Amino acid sequence: MSFDAEQLLGPQGLLAKTLANYEYRPEQVQMANHVYQALQNDVHGIIEAGTGVGKSLAYLLPLIEHTVAEKKRAVVATHTITLQEQLFHKDIPFLKEILPYEFKAEVFKGRHNYLCLRRWNELVQRRGSQLDLTGDFDQLSRWVNETATGDYSEAPLAIPWELWLEIRCEKESCPEELCAYFSKCFYWSLRHRLHDAHLIITNQAMLLADARTEGRVLPACKCAVIDEAHNLEDTATNAYSHQLNRPAFFAFYRTGTQLQGTLRDQVPEYVIQDLSLILDELMKEAGQYFSQIEQYMTGYTTPLTEENRRYFSQTTLPKHLKDILEVLRECSLEEEGEDAALAEQFASFADRLLTDLDLILLGHDPGYAYWAEWQNGEPTLVAAPIEVDGLLQETLFQQIPSVILTSATLSTNRSFDYIRRQLGVTEAAELILGSPFAYDKQAILCVPKEAKHPNHPRYSHYVSYLILRTLALTQGGVLALFTSYSLMDEVADAIYPKLEEVGYTLYKQGDGPRLGLIQDFQAEPRSLLFGTNSFWEGIDLPGEALRAVVITRLPFTSPDRPVTRARLQAVEAAGGNAFLEYSVPQAILRLKQGFGRLIRTKTDTGGVVILDERILTASYGADFLASLPPARFTRDLDELRLLFGN
């Protein structure tokens, strides 16, 4: 079996014969061949493929053929669940139908996505008829008995989150092979099926969880494709970070109380009483401690420093955790029994919390940045690695012979130097592919004459004015991207009366669920959508729904985040220029993501309007412009009117 991308993706290829409206894209063929060569040669690859190339098929086809022919196993890791599900439920079934050979693929999510039969049956026995209070108990029971996957997302009803916490699969309360339900377990059955798969579709976090635990999550794989790879640095930062908050201790307490019920008939009563007493003391201390540290948190994030660390270190939480470990040592349980396995998992849970407390509260490891921040209304302690390149190199790139990184946004000024440096990729087969879209005809890039520097005293006034002008020229369909909530809210308040007067609807991040806002914006032609960080990528609005993307400010990451500040300081300490080597490339990749919202098909038209004059006046501005798709440049905003014929 030999791979020929033209025979599959060419104008006379297999897909052209299968699909009625097939569009031949030379860039897709080029990418597929590049992926296959990297796999065959056991080398890493970095591929930037512009919007519309069709990346998914361009890496799936060579990946499948390579794994089948070589009898190997591969992983595809995405950043978003949306892409993960598209691959597994749309692309994979399609390829299974048309390819002349068989292959096996599985989708693998985090453990918390799957139902635990043991915990479900314990809950039913413990609470019995009280479960009728959920209102859908009969329907839920039928799903438990009939489901083949136990996947939360496939349940036919919305399972209340509080209930799901009690019945989902959790490492901390899993006796694994010693569980009475192990042979029927959804999660472990899937883990076993992964060994027979050619292709495992998962997410970046799961791939890094496997890398972090030296291959204890996934079966050994010889190759991997990481899609949406521009997010890998952030995913790795989170994967190798340590966090502590009240919910973490509540999860520990919940696991401990469940263990008490399991051990009640297996250990002396005084052990149960001691465990109960210490768990209560632990939860009391956790509540008091996390309430107490609120007074020392001076903003959304507060760095832990030599000056304030002593205030954050005033807690007896480590003592209570050590006491629990002492009590667990007194449990004389059969080494091979389910109860012993549960007690061992709980002890490991206590050890992890102790390790995290020591790491964060002592702050001795110079490789981490330490801070306190608010997460979902909860004060949270964080230790994050300052650099992830070494971690990724050691645990990922040195362990898997061929890792392919791909995204529409990986290069800055047609170079992969930045992304390679940040991710620890020393050698890779590189490829930059443009888009099949005719940007020079489909889009304009406008930096209006009225654009100002963000430090201008009336910057928000000019932003408001230019957004209203853009809206008047496009007559709706404007997505405005901000880098801060404060500017977004200020501009929204300023233009709202005018919008009401002329009959336009404003949808603003924070006013409802993200997906709902996007759908409402798409359904209402005379509207505009305001968003910050999460709206810069992952929004797909082809056709008339989106006519203009307004970039209110070049998206430099705020140094307020302690790990970002630590990374900037590390570059300076090494003798580099942190702004040019870190801040500028990161902002370029973000800007490319925002630009990418505009043109999604060959028939789309529209304009990207940048309101920050630094893209023209600053010395680094040329790098931003050189990194963007080749849209027609103008400084005359009225050209939008010509584009739409208004």
* 170: in domain: yes
pLDDT digits (tens, 9 = 90+) for 525-559: 999 999 998 899 988 888 889 999 999 999 998 88
Band of pLDDT at residue 130, cut at 50, 70 and 90: low
Chain CA centroid to CA 414, Å: 25
Q: Which two tokens stand for residue 600?
A: 């999604």
The contacts of residue 126 (CB under 8 Å, 6+ apart) are 261
Q: Do residues 5 and 16 make contact, with C-beta atoms less than 8 angstroms apart?
A: no
- Mean residue pLDDT of the chain comes to 93
Q: Is the pLDDT of residue 644 over 80?
A: no
> Based on the structure, what is the number of domains in the chain?
4
* 188: in domain: no
* 526: in domain: yes
pLDDT digits (tens, 9 = 90+) for 321-373: 999 999 988 877 666 678 888 888 999 999 999 999 999 999 999 999 999 99
Helix, strand or coil for residue 353?
helix
Cα dist. 636→448, 454, 464, 604, 639 in Å? 6, 20, 17, 21, 6
* 211: in domain: yes
Report the C-alpha gap between 516 and 512 in whole angstroms. Answer: 7
| Of 495, 597, 498, residue with least CA distance to 547 | 597
Report the C-alpha gap between 281 and 264 in whole angstroms. Answer: 20
List of E strands, 521-637? 527-531, 548-551, 606-610, 632-634
Task: Give phi and psi for 129, each to the nearest 5.
Answer: -65, -15
Q: Which helix (H) or strand (E) holds 203?
A: strand 199-203
Residues 344 and 361 in one domain: yes
The domain that holds 359 is classified in CATH as 1.20.140
Residues 470 and 525 in one domain: yes
**Listing from the earlier edge strand, what are the strands of the sheet with 443-446?**
505-508, 527-531, 478-481, 548-551, 606-610, 443-446, 632-634
Residues 557 and 449 in one domain: yes
Query: What is the average pLDDT across 190-198?
Result: 95
Task: Give phi and psi for 346, each to the nearest 5.
Answer: -65, -40
Query: What is the average pLDDT across 24-43?
Result: 96
Report the C-alpha gap between 523 and 631 in whole angstroms. Answer: 27
Which stretch of 193-197, 418-422, 575-579, 599-603 has the lowest confidence by average pLDDT?
Answer: 599-603
* 129: in domain: yes
C-alpha dihedral sign at 519, 522, 523, 525: positive
Q: Is the pLDDT of residue 228 over 60?
A: yes
- Helices 246-263 and 338-362: crossing angle in degrees, nearest 10, is 160
Residues 638 and 593 in one domain: yes
The Cβ of residue 532 has, within 10 Å, a number of other Cβ atoms equal to: 19
What is the percentage of the chain residues whose pLDDT exceeds 90?
Answer: 80
Of residues 611 and 334, more confidence is placed in 611
pLDDT digits (tens, 9 = 90+) for 497-535: 999 999 999 999 999 998 899 999 999 999 999 999 889
pLDDT at 540: 86
Q: Which two tokens stand for residue 366?
A: 């110079």
- Helices 338-362 and 317-329: crossing angle in degrees, nearest 10, is 160
The domain that holds 68 is classified in CATH as 3.40.50.300
Half-sphere exposure of 531 (CA within 13 A, CB side): 22
pLDDT at 80: 87
Q: Are strands 368-375 and 301-303 parallel, antiparallel or unpaired?
A: antiparallel
Q: Do residues 139 and 176 make contact, with C-beta atoms less than 8 angstroms apart?
A: no
* 186: in domain: no
Report the C-alpha gap between 603 and 542 in whole angstroms. Answer: 9
| Of 242, 366, 402, 373, residue with least CA distance to 301 | 373
Chain CA centroid to CA 585, Å: 20
Residues 122 and 73 in one domain: no
pLDDT digits (tens, 9 = 90+) for 289-300: 999 999 999 888
Report the C-alpha gap between 132 and 141 in whole angstroms. Answer: 11
pLDDT at 265: 80
DSSP one-letter code for 3: -
The contacts of residue 375 (CB under 8 Å, 6+ apart) are 243, 245
| Of 80, 108, 87, residue with least CA distance to 197 | 108
Which stretch of 55-69, 124-138, 292-306 has the lowest confidence by average pLDDT?
Answer: 124-138
Residues 340 and 353 in one domain: yes
Q: Which two tokens stand for residue 249?
A: 């201790």
Residues 277 and 158 in one domain: no
Query: What is the average pLDDT across 437-448?
Result: 95
Q: Is the pLDDT of residue 133 over 60?
A: no
The Cβ of residue 635 has, within 10 Å, a number of other Cβ atoms equal to: 13
Annotate 108-119 with DSSP letters as a single string.
---GGGBB-HHH
Residues 362 and 348 in one domain: yes
The Cβ of residue 193 has, within 10 Å, a number of other Cβ atoms equal to: 14
pLDDT at 529: 97
Query: What is the average pLDDT across 156-185?
Result: 90
The Cβ of residue 562 has, within 10 Å, a number of other Cβ atoms equal to: 23
Q: Is the pLDDT of residue 135 over 60?
A: no
Under the phi-then-psi rule, with left for phi > 0, alpha for psi from -120 to 50, and beta for the rest, what region is 144? alpha
DSSP one-letter code for 332: -
Residues 223 and 159 in one domain: no
Report the C-alpha gap between 599 and 620 in whole angstroms. Answer: 25
* 47: in domain: yes
Helix, strand or coil for residue 370?
strand
Residues 89 and 164 in one domain: no
DSSP one-letter code for 195: G
| Of 42, 50, 40, residue with least CA distance to 427 | 42
pTM above 0.85, yes or no: yes
Report the C-alpha gap between 117 and 257 in whole angstroms. Answer: 18
Helix, strand or coil for residue 529?
strand
pLDDT at 337: 78
Band of pLDDT at residue 565, cut at 50, 70 and 90: very high
**Listing from the earlier edge strand, what are the strands of the sheet with 199-203?**
105-107, 199-203, 74-78, 223-226, 402-407, 45-49, 429-433
Residues 638 and 524 in one domain: yes
Domain containing 411 equals 5-104+197-237+388-433
Annotate 391-408 with DSSP letters as a single string.
HHIIIIITTSSEEEEEES
Under the phi-then-psi rule, with left for phi > 0, alpha for psi from -120 to 50, and beta for the rest, what region is 135? left
The Cβ of residue 398 has, within 10 Å, a number of other Cβ atoms equal to: 12
Query: What is the average pLDDT across 267-278?
Result: 90
Q: Which two tokens stand for residue 354?
A: 């102790």
Which stretch of 225-229, 474-478, 486-490, 541-545 has the lowest confidence by average pLDDT?
Answer: 541-545
Residues 133 and 221 in one domain: no
Q: Which two tokens stand for residue 454?
A: 């963000």
- Burial label for 107, CB within 10 Å (0-12, 13-18, 19+), is buried
Number of H helices, E strands in the chain: 29, 18
* 400: in domain: yes
DSSP one-letter code for 300: S
Cα dist. 358→152, 291, 305, 367, 523 in Å? 35, 20, 15, 15, 52
